[in-house]
Amino acid sequence: MRQASEPRPDAGAIRRTATRAALLDAVYETCPNLSRAQARDIFEMALEEIADALVRGDCVKLRSFGLFSVRAKRERIGRNPRTGVEAQIKPRRVLTFKPSPVLSGCVNGAPAPADDD
């Protein structure tokens, strides 16, 4: 996680997106003993495991990061915002994310705790 001493993005600054490729590059650079292909395979396997767990309806808890979970939404009546016409919205499952207190603190400028693993 970002340390408190690192620069914070300004409210008016252009924000960057952490893409899959950028995250993969970070894994590759952090693990010098892995080839780029090995880093990619590990990264893709981790993402697949997370996705598979969520498809099964399981929660995915990543310590110091947050909790991904799937929530069922009931059928309901909605409204078309352009026309105002009512429409039936079918029941569905939605993905939710609840950040950990550590991540929330880092986003709000608190120093990241030292790694203990």
**pLDDT tens-digit series, residues 9-56:** 555 667 889 999 999 999 999 998 999 999 999 999 999 999 999 999
- For 91, other C-beta atoms within 10 Å of its C-beta total 9
Same domain, 42 and 83: no
| 68 sits in which H/E element | strand 66-73
Per the domain annotation, does 8 fall within a domain? no
The HSE-up count of residue 16 (CA atoms within 13 Å, CB side) is 7
Shared-domain flag, residues 28 and 47: yes
* Residues 64 and 91 both lie in one domain: yes
Tell me, yes or no, whether 43 and 65 share the same domain: no
Is residue 6 domain-resident?
Answer: no
Q: What confidence category does residue 112 fall into, taking pLDDT thresholds of 50, 70 and 90?
A: confident
- How many structural domains does the chain have? 2
Domain that holds residue 93: 59-112
Residue 11 lies in a domain: no
